[in-house]
Amino acid sequence: MASHPELVGGLPVQPANEGLTKADLVEDVARAAQVTKKQAEAIVNLVFQTIIDSLRDGCKIELRGFGSFRIRNRGARLGRNPKTGERVEVPPKRIPYFKPGKELKEQLNQLAS
């Protein structure tokens, strides 16, 4: 079970040296929404899959007060194989990018004060 010693904006905050796993998130959702862990897991999975599907379709996801997710396109380039030094063509790819919102940054910086 995840322990949350501090609340910021009514939300639990993990200390920097601990991590928050998907299982911890499911537990927190189950407790907050008063649903079973199985139902909470379905909710968490649905949120994640919706974000993934939207990004795959090229949509930007904006969560006010939290941040936004978008895709950045990286062009093809020439790289090097670190073992052999041989030049290798690296294909273009799409990279997910998260930009924190103003409110999230403010809340995180309140902890430091």
Q: In the chain, what are the domains?
A: 1-58 (no CATH), 60-113 (4.10.520.10)
pTM for the whole thing? 0.71
Average pLDDT for residues 2-12, to the nearest whole number?
A: 52
Question: Residue 14: is its pLDDT beyond 60?
Answer: no
Output the pLDDT for position 1: 46
Q: What is the pLDDT of residue 19?
A: 87
Q: Which residues contact 90 (CB under 8 A, 6 or more apart)?
A: 76, 77, 78, 79
Model confidence pLDDT, tens digit, residues 54-100: 999 999 999 999 999 999 999 999 999 999 999 999 999 999 999 99
Q: In Å, what is the CA distance from 95 to each residue of 30, 72, 73, 74, 76?
A: 31, 5, 6, 7, 13
Check pLDDT > 60 for residue 39.
yes
Mean pLDDT, rounded, for 29-44: 96
